[in-house]
Amino acid sequence: MTNQQINVELNAQMSELVHVGDAITRLLSALTSTSDIEATIYELQLAVHEICANIIDHSYKDAENGKIKLALSLTDGNFIADICEQGEAFDPDAVPRPNLEDGQIRGYGIFLVNQLMDVVEYTSTAGGNCWHLAKQL
Amino acid sequence: METIVVSLNDRIDAFNAPQLREVFEGLLSAGHVNFIVDLRDVKFLDSAGMAALVTLLKRARQSSGDVNLTWPTLEVSQRILKLTKFDRVFTIKNNIADFNVTVSKTVTFPQ
């Protein structure tokens, strides 16, 4: 099994989000390419992308020059993304589950992350805030 | 009834969703209320892109119009839209021709 890690630091700007997908593609490039793997890569890209977009939208709402640090790893088929920032703390429990039957303007992001990943954890300390996402591939 | 096709391609995400909303707003302000948003060539669609589509839908329906979608060709994108129950909120078909409407104008985004 491949054990790899990629660290990426992003400026907290929407224009930087494209690098999230590139980093995940690079991390998983050693896996044999099948349509299933391509779908998995897309889902991981979307989950990490949604967290980063959420950080830019909420944690760094009033901040310029914010940074997002991503540590992406693949260990024995387990994908892990640790995503840390120094912005305002976020309360994931305060995000209502979207009423999907009616169509929602907000709320799809965290819902999708929860659907796409096995583990979604958030911790906020004086040193910063971190999201921990994991999925067994 | 005239229908506007908005043909989306490549990435529709939090970076360009604000511009897409402006395109939708411009079309609504010009009096258009019936839309097909063509997602066949979309390679990546995030929650901000989805929110822009739902906003258009709500605005169009307020004016007695509607918004229909075509399925992205990419299977994984179809699965994401099913996860978010977009296929319950919108009518989604494989091709524009399946809607059997007269298309008066096609707008491409990003251009």
Q: Domain residues for B54?
A: 2-109
Higher pLDDT pick, B73 / A90: B73
User: What's the rounded mean pLDDT across residues A17-21?
Assistant: 95
- Label residue A31 by pLDDT band (50, 70, 90): confident
pLDDT at A1 over 60: no
pLDDT tens for each residue of B36-89: 999 999 999 999 999 999 999 999 999 999 999 999 999 999 999 999 999 999
Q: Do A105 and B83 touch (CB under 8 A)?
A: no
State the residue for tokens 């709320």.
A107
| Average pLDDT across chain A, whole number | 90
Q: For residue B51, what is the domain's CATH number?
A: 3.30.750.24
Chain A residues with CB under 8 Å of B48 CB are 53, 109
Q: Do A35 and B75 touch (CB under 8 A)?
A: yes
Our CA-based measurement puts residue A104 at a distance from the nearest CA of chain B, in whole angstroms, of 6
The total number of structural domains in chain B stands at 1
- Report the residue of A13, A17, A34 to disrupt the B interface, i.e. the one with the largest count of B CBs within 10 Å: A17
pLDDT at A104 over 80: no
CB pairs A-B closer than 8 Å: 71
Nearest to B46 among A38, A53, A101 (CB): A53
What's the complex ipTM?
A: 0.93
Rg (alpha carbons) of chain A, rounded to whole number:
15
State the residue for tokens 């491949």.
A2
Q: Do A104 and B51 touch (CB under 8 A)?
A: yes
Whole-angstrom distance, CA of residue B46 vs CA of residue B70: 16
Whole-angstrom distance, CA of residue A60 vs CA of residue A37: 33
**Chain B residue closest to A49 (CA)?**
B46
Q: Do A15 and B15 touch (CB under 8 A)?
A: yes
User: What's the rounded mean pLDDT across residues A40-63?
Assistant: 94
> Residue A120's pLDDT is what?
97
The contacts of residue A50 (CB under 8 Å, 6+ apart) are: A109, A110, A112, A113, B46, B47
Our CA-based measurement puts residue B81 at a distance from the nearest CA of chain A, in whole angstroms, of 10
Alpha helices per DSSP H over A28-100 = 35-54
Residue ranges and CATH numbers for the domains of chain A are 4-136 (3.30.565.10)
> Residue A2's pLDDT is what?
58
> Residue A95's pLDDT is what?
77
Specify the DSSP element, H or E, that contains A26. Answer: helix A18-27
Chain B residues with CB under 8 Å of A21 CB are 44
- Label residue B1 by pLDDT band (50, 70, 90): confident
- Label residue B90 by pLDDT band (50, 70, 90): very high
> Residue A94's pLDDT is what?
80
Phi, psi of B85 (to 5 degrees): 60, 30
- Label residue A74 by pLDDT band (50, 70, 90): very high
Q: Do B88 and A100 touch (CB under 8 A)?
A: yes
Nearest to B55 among A100, A101, A105 (CB): A105
pLDDT tens for each residue of A107-121: 799 999 999 999 999
> Residue B96's pLDDT is what?
97
Which residue type, as a one-letter code, is found at position A114?
Answer: N
pLDDT tens for each residue of B17-37: 999 999 999 999 999 999 999
